[in-house]
Amino acid sequence: MNPNTPSKKILLVEDEDFIRELYVRQLTKEGFQVKSAVDGQSGLNMLKAEAFDLLLLDIMLPGMNGLQLLREFKTQNPNSPMITILLTNLGQEAVIKEGFELGAQAYLIKASYTPDQVVNEVKNALFGSSQQLPQERNQ
């Protein structure tokens, strides 16, 4: 565990096993408390059960998709301070805008980011940007 990283709670909702396991591994290594869900409904249930500081949310999910999950959560918890970062694939620019309207702060294109870059983005979102990864943030 990285002693410099305050122990923030992260929920990762991602249906691809390998990607989910890899992100959980890297985030845990950085000292975050990470929980994960494999689909939208179980993700939403976990959000209802406890509070998280940050949600890493895949958009394409079986059953309830990421945007539906986010809409549902924001309707029930309009004042939640939780930060949301969308995990997207190449070619999903159209849905990103909708995600931002629902209150997402940033998006990551999974294929274009190494796991370390994902961790950096999470840190930036939680603790403010000190590193130069300007192009991924919503402006």
Least Å distance, CB 139 to another protein, is 6
Identify the residue whose tokens are 């079986």: 62
- Chain residues that interact with another protein, rule: CB under 8 A: 16, 18-19, 22, 25-26, 89-91, 93-94, 109-112, 114-116, 132, 134-136, 139
Q: What is the distance between the alpha carbons of residues 61 and 116, in angstroms, rounded to a whole number?
A: 23
Our CB check for another protein shows the closer of 29 and 74 to be: 29
Least Å distance, CB 92 to another protein, is 9
What separation in angstroms does the CA of 111 have from each of 32, 71, 89, 103, 117?
23, 25, 7, 23, 11
Q: What is the distance between the alpha carbons of residues 45 and 116, in angstroms, rounded to a whole number?
A: 28
Our CB check for another protein shows the closer of 128 and 134 to be: 134
Least Å distance, CB 125 to another protein, is 17
